[in-house]
């Protein structure tokens, strides 16, 4: 099998995970979670979002969380920003990197950001320009790269068109969001075929959700195609409040276990990741959706 020697892991549990919980986790528990994740070896941690707190109340404490985490040297601490106002908050908090977010589906874009795709791109122009003046890297998410919860299947060409616009306005990294967790490995082939000549697999990040238990199979296929940057969430937390039917992200635990066994370096230490998982499971008062995490409790 043609597989990479090493992959880069972005831990999105504190953001994608906690944005989707019915209860808001305390600042102290979030900070501990993030500090345990950095100790476990995540290259990048998506700490929170500077969005309208009426839209995502669970992350309304982003500034406080950033102020209290222990920054570990070499770890990139990032946050989602939808507009100029969000970038102001992110700059004040001293983030290392920002992530703007749009979609390949018009209805999802409206539901998630109250704007058309074109309007989100317009909003991002000054955000990206200012982020670059501050020497921040910019990730640009495209949601619904395989299917939209409102419109159904999304053509790879739609993803390509949005990616081209994001690159045009200066995005450093295209992050492909399989928002609702429907993809199977052949969808990953179609997605990257559609991006040929514009975004190389090795230059993209893949953000899988695992609603139907297919995320790990898609990750392996993506690695075979040359993808080396993945988002995943500790214990499989995650989902988007504006994507009905979306369950957790690909669990970091599951991907790290698979990579460890296949000789692919992730730099994440699985027992330390379980510590982070146990902590957040305790704060949430429930179990987590990772098979590997569950097995660790039984071992
Ligand atoms: P809007 O209501 O159209 O914004 O929301 P607006 O510009 O009309 O402003 C309305 C009010 O919100 C104003 O306050 C603004 O100041 C305030 P007022 O003057 O009325 O008191 N406001 C803000 N407050 C704090 N921070 C801000 C901000 N912006 C405006 N940044 C907006 C537009 C984009 C802000 C809103 O729709 C929003 O916050 N959406 C966020 C939705 C979200 O976070 N979704 C989840 C993340 S995306 C995801 O999960 C997918 C992903 O994981 C990939 C995948 O899986 O596919 C990334
Ligand atoms: Mg997501």
pLDDT tens-place string over residues 183-193: 999 999 999 99
181 contact partners, CB below 8 Å, separation of at least 6: 208, 209, 210, 211, 212, 214, 215, 246, 247
H/E segment holding residue 84: helix 84-93
Q: Is residue 131's pLDDT more than 70? A: yes
Give distance in angstroms: CA of 55 to centre of ligand 1.
6
Q: Considering the domain boundaries, does residue 288 fall inside one?
A: yes
Q: Considering the domain boundaries, does residue 261 fall inside one?
A: yes
The environment of the single-atom ion ligand 2, i.e. residues with CB closer than 5 A, is 16
What confidence score (pLDDT) does residue 238 get? 92
Q: Considering the domain boundaries, does residue 93 fall inside one?
A: yes
In which domain, by residue range, is 145 found?
Answer: 8-298
Give distance in angstroms: CA of 261 to centre of ligand 1.
41
Q: What is the pTM of this model?
A: 0.98
253 contact partners, CB below 8 Å, separation of at least 6: 234, 235, 236, 270, 273, 274, 277, 290, 292, 293, 296
Comparing 154-168, 194-208, 242-256, the range with the smallest average pLDDT is 242-256
Q: Considering the domain boundaries, does residue 2 fall inside one?
A: no
pLDDT tens-place string over residues 21-80: 999 899 999 999 999 999 999 999 999 999 999 999 999 999 999 999 999 999 999 999
Q: By three-state DSSP, how is residue 196 classified?
A: coil
What confidence score (pLDDT) does residue 135 get? 97
Give distance in angstroms: CA of 59 to centre of ligand 2.
14
Best residue among 11, 51, 56 to mutate for probing ligand 1, ranked by most atoms within 8 Å of CB: 51
Q: Considering the domain boundaries, does residue 176 fall inside one?
A: yes
The CATH number assigned to the domain holding 30 equals: 3.20.20.70
Q: Considering the domain boundaries, does residue 3 fall inside one?
A: no
- Ligand 1 site: residues with CB under 6 angstroms? 16, 19, 49-52, 55-56, 80, 82-83, 85-86, 101, 112-114, 141, 143, 177, 179, 207, 209, 240, 242
* pLDDT mean across residues, the chain: 97
Residue with the smallest CA separation from ligand 1 atom 9 is 52
Q: Considering the domain boundaries, does residue 1 fall inside one?
A: no
Q: Considering the domain boundaries, does residue 201 fall inside one?
A: yes
What confidence score (pLDDT) does residue 47 get? 98
Number of domains, the chain: 1
Q: Is residue 1's pLDDT more than 90? A: no
């Amino acid at each position: 099998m043609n597989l990479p020697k090493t992959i880069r892991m972005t831990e999105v549990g504190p953001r994608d995970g906690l944005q989707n919980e019915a209860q808001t986790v305390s600042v102290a528990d979030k900070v501990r979670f993030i500090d345990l994740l950095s100790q476990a070896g995540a290259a990048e941690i998506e700490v929170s979002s500077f969005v309208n707190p009426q839209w995502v109340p669970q992350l309304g404490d982003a500034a406080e969380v950033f102020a209290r985490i222990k920054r570990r040297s070499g770890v990139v601490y990032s946050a989602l920003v939808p507009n100029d106002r969000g970038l102001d908050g992110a700059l004040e908090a001293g983030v290392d990197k920002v992530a703007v977010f749009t979609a390949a589906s018009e209805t999802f874009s409206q539901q998630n950001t109250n704007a058309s795709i074109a309007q989100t791109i317009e909003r991002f122009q000054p955000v990206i320009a200012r982020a670059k003046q501050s020497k921040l890297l910019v990730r640009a998410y495209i949601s619904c790269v395989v299917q939209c919860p409102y419109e159904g299947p999304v053509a790879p060409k739609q993803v390509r068109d949005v990616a081209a616009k994001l690159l045009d306005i200066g995005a450093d990294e295209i992050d492909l969001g399989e928002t609702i967790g429907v993809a199977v490995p052949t969808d990953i082939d179609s997605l990257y075929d559609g991006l040929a000549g514009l975004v190389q697999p090795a230059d993209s990040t893949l953000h899988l959700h695992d609603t139907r238990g297919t995320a790990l199979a898609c990750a392996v296929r993506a690695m075979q195609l040359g993808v080396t940057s993945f988002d995943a969430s500790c214990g499989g937390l995650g989902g988007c409040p504006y994507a009905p039917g979306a369950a957790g992200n690909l669990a970091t635990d599951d991907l790290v276990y698979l990579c460890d066994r296949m000789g692919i370096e992730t730099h994440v230490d699985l027992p330390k990741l379980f510590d982070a998982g146990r902590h957040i499971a305790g704060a949430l008062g429930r179990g987590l959706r990772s098979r590997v995490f569950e097995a660790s409790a039984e071992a």
